[in-house]
């Protein structure tokens, strides 16, 4: 009996060892070197086009990636230069929000500013975003979720799926900082309303907005935008990182995160990318790195936190990261980023965008965590 037990244990140990050896691994030094090239290229090539002022959503996403990168490089390399870059931007804008009171895109920059407040403790870093959020919570928007760009008031709520990345984490972070439930109550109510409206329970994916409910791709499938669902998945990862683990309402976001991550992981193309259209990648065969970046970020976060099964999801993450790496030029320019839009479009290698770089850096920091676990 003892010998059989020993043999069984040996077999199980060998199986576990072989399984571990077969799992993808990451070279942290290589990952960090590539991230540095990408971050430095973007800093050296600022984008000043429309929707690219310091406080616009485009740059807010870049700052979120830079915050993660700054934390990593300061901790491991003693490099404060990326924090200094972020502080310079915040201070020259007095840590203010964007111009529209309700619009999710114009409070997105509050996310990195809250993170800077958590590090430096300067009230001026959080006061503007808190004032904006307080005003919104105290003057609830009274409009439909039926988005119509001819009626600007319909942008006052989270009526498009991108908004679920831009605004909800702000309220989650403010709740985490203050424990004032008005932020959490607003987050839960508005998020669930948008979920009920834009989430397709059959496909387990989010429509970009109501205009796509009845549209179909060339292959007859429903229209689900790659980056749009990347926005949602990345936003869920941010919410989960902010909310206390013992907060009961966290379960809704955790369950949705796992469901959406599972669905999206099965839509990865053979080349490792998620394409502009999730259900008709054949019509949009080019790589698309903003969708891929947000999805790799979220999936890697899920594996790191034990929310997603490592054996199942790690190969997907590794394949996605390899695809992202292939889209970086020698000088650090990230290519194949779909320009600003609302639906699947054609993408070419020369296309880049600051939010794509933000997603890349967020993903890379989670990859570094995976490398540290090997």
Helix (H) or strand (E) holding 200: strand 199-200
Are 250 and 288 in contact by the 8 Å Cβ rule? The answer is no
209 catalytic residue (yes or no)? no
- How far is residue 351's CA from residue 125's CA, in Å, rounded to a whole number? 33
Q: Which of 68, 162, 280, 343 is catalytic?
A: 162
User: What values do phi and psi take at 80, rounded to 5?
Assistant: -100, 5
Nearest residue to 93 via CA among 106, 74, 80: 106
Strand partners, 216: 222
- How far is residue 365's CA from residue 74's CA, in Å, rounded to a whole number? 13
- How far is residue 45's CA from residue 57's CA, in Å, rounded to a whole number? 18
Tell me how far the alpha carbon of residue 159 is from its chain's centroid.
18
239 contacts: CB under 8 Å, gap ≥ 6? 168, 169, 172, 187, 253
- How far is residue 245's CA from residue 96's CA, in Å, rounded to a whole number? 30
What residues are annotated to the active site? 162
């Amino acid at each position: 009996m003892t010998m059989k037990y020993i043999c069984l244990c040996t077999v199980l140990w060998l199986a576990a060892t072989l399984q571990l050896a077969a799992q993808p691994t990451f070279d942290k030094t290589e990952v960090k070197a590539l991230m540095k090239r990408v971050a430095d290229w973007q800093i050296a090539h600022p984008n000043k086009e429309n929707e690219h002022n310091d406080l616009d959503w485009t740059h807010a996403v870049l700052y979120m990636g830079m915050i993660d990168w700054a934390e990593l490089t300061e901790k491991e390399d003693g490099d404060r230069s990326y924090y200094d870059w972020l502080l310079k931007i915040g201070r020259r804008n007095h840590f203010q929000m964007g111009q529209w009171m309700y619009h999710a895109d114009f409070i997105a920059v509050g996310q990195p500013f809250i993170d800077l407040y958590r590090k430096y403790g300067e009230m001026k870093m959080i006061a503007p975003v808190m004032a904006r959020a307080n005003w919104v919570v105290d003057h609830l928007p009274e409009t439909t979720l039926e988005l119509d760009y001819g009626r600007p008031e319909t942008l006052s709520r989270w009526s498009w799926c991108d908004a679920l990345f831009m605004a909800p984490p702000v309220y989650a972070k403010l709740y985490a900082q203050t424990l004032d439930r008005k932020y959490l109550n607003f987050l839960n109510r508005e998020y669930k309303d948008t979920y009920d409206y834009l989430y397709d329970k059959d496909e387990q994916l989010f429509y970009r907005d109501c205009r796509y409910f009845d549209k179909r791709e060339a292959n007859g499938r429903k229209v689900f935008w790659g980056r749009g669902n990347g926005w949602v998945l990345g936003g869920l990862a941010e919410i989960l990182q902010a909310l206390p683990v013992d907060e009961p309402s966290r379960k809704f976001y955790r369950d949705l995160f796992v469901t959406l991550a599972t669905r999206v992981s099965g839509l990865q193309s053979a080349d490792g990318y998620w394409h502009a259209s999730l259900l008709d990648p054949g019509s949009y065969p080019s790589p698309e790195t903003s969708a891929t970046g947000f999805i790799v970020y979220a999936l890697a976060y899920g594996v790191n936190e034990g929310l997603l099964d490592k054996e199942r999801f790690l190969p997907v993450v590794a394949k996605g990261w390899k695809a992202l790496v292939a889209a970086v030029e020698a000088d650090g320019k990230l290519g194949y980023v779909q320009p600003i839009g609302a639906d699947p479009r054609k993408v070419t290698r020369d296309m880049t965008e600051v939010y794509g770089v933000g997603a890349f850096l967020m993903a890379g920091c989670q990859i570094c965590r995976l490398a540290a676990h090997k």
